[in-house]
Amino acid sequence: MSWSANGSLMVTTSRDKKLRLWDVRQKKAAREVDGHEGAKNSRAVWMGEHDRVATTGFSKRSDRQLALWDIGSLKTIDDFLTLDSISGVCMPFWDDGTRCLYLAGKGDGNIRYFEYENDKFVYLSEYQSQEPQRGVGFIPKRGVNLHEKEVARAYKTVNDTYIEPISFIAPRRAEGFQSDIYPPAVGSRPGLSAAHWFAGNDALPPKIDLKSVFDRGEPVYFAGESKPAPVSAAPAVSPPAKVEIEPQNPNPTPVAAQRGPQPSIKDSKSSIADVASKFADNDDSGSEEDRGNSSFDRPSNAEGRKAPSPVYAKEPERQREQPPQKPTTTQPPKAEPLPAASKPPVTSAPYESEEVRESLNQIKSLLELQNRTISAQSEKIGQLTAEVDTLKSRVGESSRSDSEKDKRIRDLESELERIRS
């Protein structure tokens, strides 16, 4: 069984495969539904101040399962999650500070833990041990070592002989107080008196600011506040999405009307000639007036777009393949920034030729370097072959001298035998 945060409800599991929700001030169960289908024991834990309950049990095939229940409808949010095929009962423990669910198996030495997020359990890691546990218990959050970044501590019984502590520590190097993993925790003071509780009142117990415990001072208490349901967080995300879509709706309307009459051949020739004259190599190209009229100056383009009608200003941005349209007004300086669409074909050739030359020069230098290394290696190979030949000749001479010595020894031995005879 497991109590709710304010002590008004209780959830239980039993051998008849039923999950029951109790109003503890009444004599009968408020709700009753079918739980896990397995014949073995199942366990339940209330997930702190959330309106959710986590249960562990077995399937018909004796596979261990994990389930998440909604208290409002008393239905599973997702299907039963299969854990493994071990026969030991899985004991759930909930940590409201880090939103983690710990599952300790009875008869094995493993403790796996999940993170609760968006109504789902995300597997994090697993504590493994060779010693099987008969039972496991977690201490309250106010009892962990805050200076060692300990987020949870469990005690397990090993073979009914001793109790082993297990610490779960967050791997952090920061020395200060970590408020994200140490939110306010439930203290030891009650939220209501017995008389008020029997009168039908509900309240959360006061909480402790763990920062005061970290500073080694007196615990600071404040009134507990209920957490919002996780379902309410989903609609909070939808309004920003609508706000982002609204300013994008009027954009297609001006784009559809951006099309003017096509320019004549004379106008296109004159515009191309004007652009080509800007990139010609002149001696007096350093004047400030020519620099101000250059098509590479972006501020001048912005000024030129403001003077004509919107059709002429947006024509080069929508159709870059067509030649720009020259305005019919008698202001030639304002019409010059419009042919910026023909800028890439005029300037691309010299840049491409320079890049090709640089790449060719690099290739030539690499080839020369390779030729040098090959010639040096060939010289070394020649030297090595000469040394090998000299060694071979010396070895041949030594073998010849050895054969002559053997022949001389045989002759001397034959002469000695003759003399003896």
Q: Is the pTM of this model over 0.75?
A: no
Closest CA to 209 of 176, 185, 181: 185
The per-residue pLDDT for range 295-334, each reduced to its tens digit, is: 444 444 434 444 444 444 444 444 444 444 544 444 444 4
Please name the residue that has the structure tokens 């994008």. Answer: 248
Closest CA to 121 of 273, 238, 230: 230
**How sure is the predictor about 107, in pLDDT bands with cuts at 50, 70 and 90?**
confident
Segments making up each domain of the chain, as ranges: 2-186, 262-273+297-325+333-357
Mean pLDDT of 243-258: 42
Mean pLDDT of 2-18: 89
102 vs 234, higher pLDDT: 102
Closest CA to 141 of 177, 179, 95: 95
Q: How far apart are CA 397 and CA 392, in angstroms?
A: 9
Which strands sit side by side in the sheet containing 111-117, from one edge to the other? 90-95, 100-105, 111-117, 120-127
Closest CA to 293 of 363, 327, 340: 340
* Residue 126, H or E segment: strand 120-127
User: According to the per-residue pLDDT averaged within each range, which of 44-53, 237-246, 327-336, 409-418 is highest?
Assistant: 44-53
Q: How far apart are CA 421 and CA 348, in angstroms?
A: 109
172 vs 341, higher pLDDT: 172
pLDDT of 338 strictly over 70 = no
Closest CA to 291 of 381, 282, 242: 282
**How sure is the predictor about 254, in pLDDT bands with cuts at 50, 70 and 90?**
very low
pLDDT, residue 173, reads: 81
> Which residues in 192-209 are b (16+ Cβ under 10 Å) and which e?
beeeebeeeeebbbbbbb
Q: Looking at domain 2-186, which of 1.20.1250.20, 3.40.50.280, 2.130.10.10, 3.40.50.150 is its CATH number?
A: 2.130.10.10
pLDDT, residue 188, reads: 84
Strands 64-70 and 52-58: antiparallel
The overall average pLDDT reported for the chain is 75
**Backbone dihedral angles phi then psi of residue 28, each to the nearest 5 degrees:** -120, 160
**Backbone dihedral angles phi then psi of residue 102, each to the nearest 5 degrees:** -100, 135
The per-residue pLDDT for range 37-76, each reduced to its tens digit, is: 888 889 999 998 888 999 999 998 889 999 999 988 888 9
**How sure is the predictor about 272, in pLDDT bands with cuts at 50, 70 and 90?**
low
Q: How far apart are CA 228 and CA 6, in angstroms?
A: 14
Please name the residue that has the structure tokens 């609609």. Answer: 235
* 8 A C-beta contact, residue 210 and residue 182: yes
